[in-house]
């Protein structure tokens, strides 16, 4: 580990990230078309999503393949949203920018709307590692109980309900209805369908019963949505929530060096697959936030050794035993 001060280490990492990005852009002039690249990625993702859903609808692919492919596609949509929160694309064209924001939300309806998320995400960068970091606490960061942590990671709505009392005491300005309403109408409909289908099959298991014709038609639509949209996002959000809540510290944080550790462990590889390698690249974002996700991915291999040299921890999974505290 470097013997430099924290400030010097941070500066060295930021300098290395910026230098690598500059070199990359010089080698590939096409990267200057940042808005265009983002729009192409968005449209390709959207068309792929619709295409996979259509293939399942016409019985050309099995349900499991549809679920896996859509989960992968929506993980890209999440990365686009992350960049949009920092206004990296079409910032001077609000109509296009907001169209992109709406599209990535439609593809990931189990989240709060991106306009509200921008507010808590930018706040996250200011208070990362503290009790005021609502964004990370909503996905399980800082929870000691493994059972409660698993519930929050798997089900954002149930996690919000279980933690409301604690958040109200510890997080300044927290209001349950503000967070809950930020998911309407998409997240509301998402969880209504998810819980509705689960309840239906649970009741059928306990006491089988017949449903009227309109009920059968409604169930068919719900089951279709479960395969092409809901279950893929269950996998995507579970993977992302597990990785991000594991790599962010909670407590004992004094600077950017101590906000996250990098996750490269092979045990996390299945989950990294469904969150676009988040665990190995997100720490870069904490040092340089105004950088497209694809550039972060392209430079990560060279930047990770530099971060390690300057004090960023790797695979500090022991922190999970201490509710993510930085020790």
Task: Establish if 309 belongs to a structural domain.
Answer: yes
**DSSP for residue 255:** S
The whole-number pLDDT of residue 31 equals: 98
The whole-number pLDDT of residue 2 equals: 58
The whole-number pLDDT of residue 3 equals: 82
CA atoms within 13 A of residue 77's CA, in its CB half-sphere: 31
Which residues of the chain are modeled with pLDDT < 50? 1
Expressed as residue numbers, the domain containing 177 is 6-322
Task: Establish if 327 belongs to a structural domain.
Answer: no
Task: Establish if 87 belongs to a structural domain.
Answer: yes
Tally of domains in the chain = 1
Task: Establish if 1 belongs to a structural domain.
Answer: no
Look up residue 135 and give its two tokens: 């964004």
CA atoms within 13 A of residue 3's CA, in its CB half-sphere: 0
Task: Establish if 13 belongs to a structural domain.
Answer: yes
Q: What is the pTM of this model?
A: 0.96
How far apart are alpha carbons 287 and 188 in whole angstroms? 34
Task: Establish if 191 belongs to a structural domain.
Answer: yes
Task: Establish if 222 belongs to a structural domain.
Answer: yes
How far apart are alpha carbons 246 and 141 in whole angstroms? 7
Task: Establish if 278 belongs to a structural domain.
Answer: yes
Look up residue 48 and give its two tokens: 């792929």
């Amino acid at each position: 580990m470097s013997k430099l001060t924290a400030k010097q280490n941070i500066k060295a990492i930021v300098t290395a990230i910026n230098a690598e990005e500059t070199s990359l852009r010089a080698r590939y002039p096409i990267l200057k078309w940042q808005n265009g690249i983002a729009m192409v990625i968005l449209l390709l993702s959207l068309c792929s999503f619709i295409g996979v859903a259509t293939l399942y609808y016409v019985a050309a692919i099995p349900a499991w393949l549809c679920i896996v492919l859509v989960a992968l596609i929506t993980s890209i949509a999440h990365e686009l949203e992350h960049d949009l929160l920092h206004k990296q694309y079409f910032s001077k064209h609000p109509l296009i920018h907001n169209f992109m924001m709406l599209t990535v939300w439609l593809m990931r309806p189990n989240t709060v709307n991106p306009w509200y998320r921008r507010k808590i995400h930018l706040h996250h960068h200011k208070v990362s590692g503290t009790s005021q970091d609502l964004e990370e606490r909503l996905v399980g960061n800082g929870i000691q109980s493994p059972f409660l942590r698993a519930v929050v990671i798997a089900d954002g709505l149930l996690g919000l309900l279980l933690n409301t009392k604690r958040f109200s005491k510890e997080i300044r300005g927290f209001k349950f209805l503000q967070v809950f309403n930020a998911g309407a109408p998409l997240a509301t409909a998402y969880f209504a369908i998810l819980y509705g289908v689960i309840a239906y099959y649970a009741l059928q298991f306990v006491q089988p019963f017949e449903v009227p014709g309109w009920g059968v038609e409604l169930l068919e639509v719900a089951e279709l949505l479960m395969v092409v949209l809901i279950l893929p996002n269950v996998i995507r959000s579970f993977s992302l929530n597990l990785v991000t809540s594991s790599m962010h510290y909670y407590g004992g944080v004094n600077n950017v060096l101590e906000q996250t550790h990098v996750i490269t462990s092979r045990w996390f590889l299945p989950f990294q697959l469904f969150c676009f390698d988040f665990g190995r690249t997100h720490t870069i974002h904490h040092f340089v936030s105004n950088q497209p996700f694809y550039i972060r991915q392209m430079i990560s291999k060279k930047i990770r050794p530099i971060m390690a040299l300057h004090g960023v921890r790797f695979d500090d999974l022991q922190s999970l035993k201490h509710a993510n505290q930085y020790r």
